Amino acid sequence: MTELIPTPEEVGLRADAWIASGFPKVRKADIRKFLDAGMLTLAPSGRKVSKGDKIIDGGIYWLKQLPQTEELRANEAVTYTVLAEDNGILAVSKPAGTDCLPNEASETDTLANGLLARWPQLAGVGNSPLTCGVLHRIDRETSGLVLVALTQELYGAIRGQFSEHTVVKRYLALVQGSLMQPGRLVNELAHNPRYPGHMIDATKWNNIRRPMHAETDYEPIRRYRLEGRTFTLVDVTIRTGVTHQIRAQFSFAGMPLLGDSRYGGLQLPDFPRHFLHSASAELLHPITGASVRYEAPLTDDLTVMLNRMTPVRA
């Protein structure tokens, strides 16, 4: 049992923020779980302190056990391709089937685990012990470009650009339907309260608390035929960064991605992923101030898929 007495500056903070300030290497999600489990109590009554409770003046708190810092484990067996290492920014291409980041420290097969094996200095870079400098996520079954900051200073500067939506991110997607003209998709998306891991069109549901604005521009590249259906390879630029944005928006517009079982795409027995590839990103380099662009070529499995389809002549 550890006794904690707040300073005058800490009085009025939320309990989770107070504990986080004393244990900066512990993830906020883990601190919330820690408090939910009743690990912090108010003396002498022993009353459980919840995460949203305000720290009171003159309060004496008992910490039943110290929050444990999670440390990511390196795994050199994780595969990825290094595209560029440029003044503290690392650009890699992630294969489909690999998560960018772990949810728990016990996971060892994510991109972050592989990066740590080659760049040990990435330990602690980011907004949690498990971030490992990764600046943005792409879905598990999405392949392509992922950017990584090699220092905490660069991480903060580049994440600021992501937050301000000034990073230009391009994707390649194969969507069902015959598209002839460029277009823009605009939706209010939200997490499905009934099915975790699915996004919904928030305008078609009642009592959605946190709708997220999503804007996606697209430009047709080429049309193809497969299994009696027409598909269009599109160049996609996202103006926002909402979970499953491209996959959900095209599905809601009646144009699901090939292979996307979650959002109604055509399933093929020998293509166990959706056709979505993170192709490029453009941003201002915090050190040089110059505009830099990183690109990831289309993966072999996506190239093979396009080659087996029949092009539609204009």
Q: Write down which residue in 63, 78, 113 finishes a domain.
A: 63
In which domain, by residue range, is 121 found?
70-164
Do 296 and 287 touch, CB atoms closer than 8 A? no
Q: Are residues 221 and 311 in the same domain?
A: yes
Write out the DSSP string of 199-242.
Answer: EEEGGGSSS-S--EEEEEEEEEEEEEEETTEEEEEEEEEESS--
290, 175: one domain: yes
| The residue count for the chain | 314
Which residue type sits at 245?
A: Q
> Which sign does the torsion angle of CA 48, 50, 51, 54 carry?
negative
pTM: 0.81
Task: State the amino acid at position 196 in one-letter form.
Answer: P
Residues 247 and 306 in one domain: yes
Using CA atoms, how far residue 240 sits from 34, 49, 157, 236, in Å, is 33, 37, 18, 12
pLDDT of residue 25: 62
* Last residue in a domain, options 135, 164, 193: 164
Residues 203 and 309 grouped into a single domain: yes
Instruction: Return the CATH number at 32.
Output: 3.10.290.10
Are residue 306 and residue 171 in the same domain, yes or no?
yes
Max Cα–Cα distance, the chain, nearest Å: 79
Same domain, 157 and 174: no
* C-beta of residue 274 within 8 angstroms of C-beta of residue 258: yes
Q: Which tokens is 193 given?
A: 């309260």
- Taking only the tens of pLDDT, the chain with its 314 residues reads 678 888 888 888 999 888 888 776 677 777 888 888 888 999 888 899 999 999 998 888 988 876 666 678 999 999 999 999 988 999 999 999 999 999 888 899 999 999 999 999 999 899 888 899 999 999 999 999 999 999 999 999 999 999 899 999 999 999 999 999 999 999 999 999 888 889 999 998 888 878 899 999 999 999 999 999 999 999 999 988 899 999 999 999 999 999 999 999 999 999 999 999 999 999 999 999 999 999 999 999 999 999 999 999 86
pLDDT at 60: 87
Shared domain for 169 and 314, answered yes or no, is yes
> 297-312 burial string, b = 16+ CB within 10 Å, else e?
ebbebbeebbeebeee
80 & 29 share domain: no
Write down which residue in 164, 183, 209 finishes a domain: 164
Indicate whether 141 and 52 sit together in one domain. no
**314, 297: one domain:** yes
Here the CATH number for the domain that contains residue 247 is 3.30.2350.10
The pLDDT value recorded for residue 127 is 82
Distance of alpha carbon 283 from alpha carbon 166, whole angstroms? 7
Report the C-alpha gap between 172 and 159 in whole angstroms. 23
What is the rounded distance in angstroms from the CA atom of residue 292 to the CA atom of residue 282? 6
195 and 53 in a common domain: no
Please check whether residues 17 and 134 belong to one and the same domain. Answer: no
Number of domains in the chain: 3
